[in-house]
Each structure stands twice: as C-alpha cells, then as structure tokens.
Amino acid sequence: MLNFILMPGNRTPLKIMSNIVYILINESMPEMVKIGITDNLKERIKHLSRHTSVPLPFECFYAVKVEEDAKKIEKKIHEGFDQQRVRREREFFYTSPEQAKSILEILEIMGGTNVTPKEDIVETPQEKQALENARKKRVKFNFEMINIQPGTQLEFYKDKTITCEVVDQTKVKFRDKVTSLTNSADIILREMGYDWSSVHGPKWWTYQGKSLSELRNEKET
C-alpha cells in the first residue's frame, strides 16, 4: 500500500511506503488470518473493521515494523502460504495466527521492531462489548479436548521460560496457585505491559511448540 502527502509549496506528492507487516484475526472467522502491510496500523484495523462485511472488529495478533521493502516481504509471505489462501485477490489465509507469527518473527530477529498493539483497536464501546461477548461465547476449553493429562507442563507463548502445570481438565498450577489458563495468561501479559480488556488463555499457553488453541483447532478440523 502506498499513501501520498503534498509538501507545502510542492505539488509533487511524496510516497509514504508501507513498512508494517501485520497478522489480523477476527473472532467471527477463527479458521483464518489476514496478512498484509500498512503504514498506519491502527487506522488500517479501524478501516477494515468499519468497511469489511464481518460482524466483529479485527484484532492484531502480531505486527512488525521493518526498514526493508515491506511490499516484497508481503509478497514472499503470501507465496509461502499460497496453498492456504482463501481467494487469489484477497489477503486471507487458512492458517493459525501462531504459524503465521512464527514466520514473521524472523523479521524481528533481523532488526524489525515489534509494534503489536497492547490494547484492542475499536472505535465505539459497542464494538468493544461485542468483541468481549464473542470471546466469552466460544465453547469453553478443556484439556480433554486435546488429550493433555494432569501433570503436563505448559510453556507461555511469549516466553518459554514461564511455565505452568496442568492440574485437572480446566485448571493449572501457576506460581504455586491453582488458577485458570486465562487468569494466568492475563497476569503475565499485564506484567509485560499489555492492557487488553480480555484474553483467551489457550491462545497463550503452548504444548510441544503449539498453542492450545492451535491444537484444539487441529482436533476439531
């Protein structure tokens, strides 16, 4: 995407290169992600949520700012996920956000900057409430869904040194206290500086390199 600005006294537009590569998710279509580029992430999310024919706002799962030509990077990423592409002319892919993020993280290792928003990007209180309601309505996760037994150790997605232990079908032991996946993930994310109104615990805890949400989706499909 290219945007243009006009400098004072100059009728020649200057090109503003898109330099942010992003992964967006939407609770109304959990089986796919959107991978694209922009120069203004918040405005892009608002625009898509406002003008795309989906009932819920988009959420940014991961975004990285790069110094290189983001258009070329986007093209290569799209080629890599070509078999999972929903439609040729669209930027939607049948893949998990975790899998897409594992590719984009290479850009961060090569000097890119993680610019993932630390809060939901919504324009109205109604949008925020709709997003929270959708997160709550999804069938509650339990470990039996993915054949994980009590005593199994899980790792946090953003920091593999942070762990918890499965206690029963819905609870884990985290920092010597029995709690839920969501509550423990919320504690960690807030300590990291994120201020989301709600989080989905299974997205943030992993087993054998895959998030619990990803393992659940594999079982269900």
Mean pLDDT of 81-86: 85
Tell whether the model's pLDDT for residue 15 goes beyond 70: no
Within 10 Å of residue 209's Cβ, how many Cβ atoms?
10
Residue 165 in 3-state DSSP?
A: strand
For the segment 124-172, what is each residue's pLDDT rounded down to a tens digit?
A: 898 888 888 877 766 678 999 999 999 999 999 989 999 999 999 999 9
Band (pLDDT 50/70/90 cuts) for residue 197 is: low
HSE-CB of 31 using CA atoms within 13 angstroms: 8
Distance CA 210, CA 85 (A): 21
Q: Measure the CA angle with vertex 207, ends 194 and 85; round to 5°.
A: 75
- In the prediction, which pLDDT does 132 show? 82
For the segment 93-111, what is each residue's pLDDT rounded down to a tens digit?
A: 888 888 888 888 999 888 9
At 31, which amino acid appears?
A: E
Band (pLDDT 50/70/90 cuts) for residue 5 is: very low
Band (pLDDT 50/70/90 cuts) for residue 199 is: confident
- Spatial contact of 59 and 111, defined as CB atoms under 8 Å apart: no
Distance CA 17, CA 39 (A): 7
Q: Measure the CA angle with vertex 18, ends 2 and 34; round to 5°.
A: 105
Band (pLDDT 50/70/90 cuts) for residue 64 is: very high
Alpha helices in 35-180 (DSSP H): 41-51, 70-80, 97-109, 125-137
Least reliable range by pLDDT among 103-117, 188-202, 204-218: 188-202
Kindly provide the residue ranges of all beta strands, DSSP E only, lying in the chain, ordered along the sequence. 2-6, 13-17, 20-25, 33-38, 59-65, 92-93, 113-114, 153-156, 159-166, 171-174, 177-180, 205-207, 210-211
Q: Which two tokens stand for residue 220?
A: 């269900």
Tell whether the model's pLDDT for residue 180 goes beyond 90: yes
- The share of the chain scoring above pLDDT 90, in percent, equals 44
Distance CA 96, CA 32 (A): 7
Structure-model confidence comparison of residues 44 and 138, the more confident one: 44
- The share of the chain scoring above pLDDT 70, in percent, equals 89
